[in-house]
Structure 1
């Protein structure tokens, strides 16, 4: 036998099965290209020039790991589908005289051809488009374009190692399956699963319990920190429940419909329910995969888009002025020295300022028990408290500075306070704070609904935060004196100065750096930050989030499209036989076609409906998690979620139309017979 026989036969088989092989090859090429591009961007030498490069590299590393795991699982999954479609053909080869070792050689050459085409084309396209993707990333993070083009060799090597390993593992799996399977089983392999599926009551109950548990966590979570800890557990429950309900719950519902004689014994319902009942056993996992992947696409894209779109709001909340100077003068107030040092720097640089604010404060982590605020020890981690809802952040400041900042004229006695809380302004009539052994009690004179932005706590989006206004600095110091001496270094008295400058970006950055580096006062720490470098950090982080969200969304969307396509092709070959049988028993062409179309539409859009439910239920817990990243604009997140859902529905509908054409081309051949 000629040495070229097996390669030629392998190439001929790929061409003859182009409806299933060409999409698979395109998917392999695209997956290789995407993985290489992400790796090339992470290994790009120009990345080190970007502000916040370490954080960006960390995010890209996470995305690269996810892409690698996705590639392994997804390519192995699609390979399994291909082998199922090829079993009859392989069995026929075996019956016609080809030994299994000969069939193994053909399969090996097919794998080699696909691997060579996928790797060479994928890496070539990756090299071609990686610069474009890098420029897109720079645009997202608002960084000036870096010229130059390089091909990171480590990225090429890691891509080759990963995908060669995947192709080798799939080849070994295929050869093992062929070796262990009898020829007659191969010949009828494509028909496995035609028996009526059994109702699995326990699996249905398990699925409902998982979905109920996951939804319960998502709908009842209160704290953003609790949301973060519960989210992944809720995701596991919902994923498990989705697979269980698609596998067993759908069959149970269809059997209930079949028992309803008035509904079932109608032409359209009879054929639809029967067809879906048999189809659900074979396609339940595929439908569940479509549902889960669609949910992942929408969540990743909508959240990263919302974070990026709301970035300026987050920056303004964190930095209401151009420069923010935080100092810790301690109980021995060195405010005058700090002010003099800052003013000296302003004069040296010849910079005029406006919107100047300055205030003293103490920010204390407290546990709220029986109406009292007890200081938390440094060792008592926030996550270690019995209930995270008991943890409160109290920022205490003197009245004269508060009135100056807010342009108010409140008055207070030594036993009175003014209370502000974004979440619960009417929670208390008294304010009691202390170390547990010794407390101070104040009457709440006023409960405010709004205060100046400069007084907002960094923890405000995560925990219940309170701004407490006391009558003067002496009262503030008396509260501070209750903090145990070994804890005062962790709960220091702060003096914050904020102002806007009448200068450009470079001068503002130079001023803040000069203050940070040169304002040195014994026993006092000084930290100066400016809005321009903070914006760079935000763009680097949130731009990186959006880039990775887009990257992974495209990967998962590609997987969704391919699963839908293969499902349509598979159903087309199965319905071709049913089409012929229904015509022989007296149904017209139009009735059969209408029935099959109705059946396909119902099954096709079922995952989309479940995806919509998952997204709606998960909105609350995701919105809570976004608070941890500084996005408090729920309206923006709603718009991004709705917009993402509408765009995805358009893509999903387009995929339905395109793949349905392939389905009808297969089925329509039965009409001609």
Structure 2
């Protein structure tokens, strides 16, 4: 009989259970996505040059486990808030606490097992789709990575089953110790609100000061003062907590004291709701703000590494491709490139003498990037171009440092370059050879065609120094692992943290039902109630979101050590953050309204 009542209760709340189930599926999917990287040692060793990567991922496993644990606690709270009144009714009807405890245990474990299995399957699909999108869109070179990874499946399944078993035991014990009347009236418990007094004002000022000190420390970190890293970490964590707990409480108090604002529509009610929400949610909002900053920072820096690798390649070679002794097949390959500039130079080798025809450089000067000291630059800029006509000794002395000389052959460093007129060139002995330099309208836009030209040239002349395409592949493979991990894990963490915030808000929805019903009975229009919900939840999402963005904007200063312009191309990561965040906001608002305004028509 008890089992039938339990199943009937689940059917009655099937929509709420669907929300819970989908959230648990997402959490296990995200956990699996992380574990496919963290447990794959061959991938970590082959895809990143950083020796400390396994240690970093070991720390990441601990961090994600803590976040997942917090997430499951809130999801479990959401489950209990839905069923606690029904459990109380069962006990009033004579059901023993041990029976209900066993029912709760089985219910929690079964939901956990099913959601974990579905989450792993979803995680495999998401891992494959996201990894392929990143590899294709960013032209990454990834080795030893497989979306279906058995150790990750094992770790994920064991972790979640253990957590769900512990949660089931906790639920069962908690229920047995709770008085029946308290279960029946859990949603009517009074909430104590601490007023924002003078003490909180002092704490708010201290919090702002700590954040300022932390931000300044990160600016100094970008200049090489690595000793300040612990200072920045401690001050920003403490500052975030104090600002959320104290500063926002004072802002709410000031808004409530402004009667023209607070007495307009339901503003006073919304501010009161936020008043006790801020006090209750300080820890979760602080955690979400900090970890949002880490996740968003990982995506941003991952994208910056791509721009760094492109900059390194683009600033070393002016010409996008070089063809030695061009033939008909290479001419056909060049036609597939959107050519901006193309020039051919002939040369002869006699003994240790290298001869070029000066007339060719008069008609078309050779272009080469100027040598630049990048440590003295404050942003990534393409080096200025120098044009060489080699008509004077100063330019001729620089010839060995240009691509014109280095593309002759790797052993030609001992050759002496000679730039002579046409008659002297014709008298010089040796077989005439040629080099055709090609500048395209855009290296990445023409990458497929440039690859064909470069690969074919390398096949014919394997001993020649690598040209731009080979340099691009080498540097891209060097950074690819770090880029992939940064963006991949950043997106996964953002999804998990937004889910944490969503379930924390939903877990308290049951206690808000009476307040909204009371306002409705007093004659408050439905649209005002819905607007109040929108404002309240928007504020709870905005606080950690805005603080996380501010943390990232200052935190990027730290990466000036190896990223010349850390704020370049930040639109993509911030767009990803905004899209994920706005989706979770609308889902949370919709579900919250379905709970608290369900009986209001």
TM-score range, shorter chain: 0.5 to 0.7
Matching residue within 560, 564, 587 for 1:627? 560
Pairwise CA distance, 1:113: 1.0
Distance 1:38 1:541, change over 3 A: farther
Is 1:582 matched up with 2:519?
A: yes
Other-structure match for 1:119: 116
Structure 2-normalised TM-score? Answer: 0.66
Pairwise CA distance, 1:313: 0.7
CA contact 2:30–2:496 (8 Å) conserved in 1: no
Is 1:645 matched up with 2:574?
A: yes
Equivalent residues in 2 for 1:476-515 (5 A)?
499=403, 500-501=406-407, 504=454
Pairwise CA distance, 1:166: 1.8
Measured in 1, the distance between the counterparts of 2:157 and 2:63 equals: 17
Other-structure match for 1:24: 20
Matching residue within 164, 173, 176 for 1:176? 173
Measured in 2, the distance between the counterparts of 1:135 and 1:632 equals: 29
Matching residue within 625, 629, 636 for 2:568? 636
Distance 1:224 1:105, change over 3 A: same
Q: Secondary structure at the match of 1:636?
A: coil
Is 1:98 matched up with 2:78?
A: no
Other-structure match for 1:75: 72
Measured in 1, the distance between the counterparts of 2:284 and 2:499 equals: 11
Measured in 1, the distance between the counterparts of 2:35 and 2:566 equals: 34
Equivalent residues in 2 for 1:421-460 (5 A)?
454=371, 456=373
Pairwise CA distance, 1:105: 0.5
Is 1:549 matched up with 2:486?
A: yes
CA contact 1:88–1:186 (8 Å) conserved in 2: yes
Measured in 2, the distance between the counterparts of 1:153 and 1:49 equals: 18
CA contact 2:109–2:161 (8 Å) conserved in 1: no
Distance 1:154 1:583, change over 3 A: closer
Measured in 1, the distance between the counterparts of 2:45 and 2:272 equals: 62
Q: Which has the higher strand share?
A: 1
Distance 1:460 1:320, change over 3 A: farther
CA contact 2:220–2:558 (8 Å) conserved in 1: no
Other-structure match for 1:246: 244
Equivalent residues in 2 for 1:77-476 (5 A)?
77-128=74-125, 130-132=127-129, 135-136=132-133, 138-139=135-136, 142=139, 151-199=148-196, 202=199, 205-219=202-216, 221-224=219-222, 226=224, 228-231=226-229, 233-261=231-259, 263-316=261-314, 454=371, 456=373
CA contact 1:87–1:187 (8 Å) conserved in 2: yes
List alignment gaps of at least 5 residues for structure 1.
323-345, 355-405, 408-451, 463-495, 516-527
Distance 1:237 1:25, change over 3 A: farther
Other-structure match for 2:336: none
Pairwise CA distance, 1:281: 3.8
Structure 1-normalised TM-score? Answer: 0.60
Measured in 1, the distance between the counterparts of 2:209 and 2:101 equals: 47
Other-structure match for 1:331: none
Measured in 1, the distance between the counterparts of 2:153 and 2:524 equals: 57
Q: Secondary structure at the match of 2:220?
A: coil
Distance 1:615 1:22, change over 3 A: same
Measured in 2, the distance between the counterparts of 1:53 and 1:160 equals: 31
Other-structure match for 1:363: none
Pairwise CA distance, 1:264: 4.3
Measured in 1, the distance between the counterparts of 2:547 and 2:147 equals: 45
Distance 1:554 1:620, change over 3 A: closer
List alignment gaps of at least 5 residues for structure 2.
321-347, 357-366, 380-399, 408-434, 436-452
Measured in 2, the distance between the counterparts of 1:144 and 1:49 equals: 14
CA contact 2:288–2:544 (8 Å) conserved in 1: no
Distance 1:197 1:189, change over 3 A: farther
Other-structure match for 2:440: none
Q: How many residues are matched? A: 496
- Between 30-39 and 503-512, report the one with greater CA deviation: 503-512
- Between 13-22 and 210-219, report the one with greater CA deviation: 13-22
Distance 1:224 1:169, change over 3 A: same
Measured in 2, the distance between the counterparts of 1:456 and 1:210 equals: 40
Measured in 2, the distance between the counterparts of 1:649 and 1:51 equals: 29
CA contact 1:207–1:240 (8 Å) conserved in 2: no
Other-structure match for 1:402: none
Matching residue within 583, 588, 601 for 1:659? 588
Measured in 1, the distance between the counterparts of 2:48 and 2:263 equals: 66
Pairwise CA distance, 1:227: 6.1
Measured in 1, the distance between the counterparts of 2:258 and 2:37 equals: 59
Distance 1:543 1:458, change over 3 A: same
Measured in 1, the distance between the counterparts of 2:222 and 2:592 equals: 46
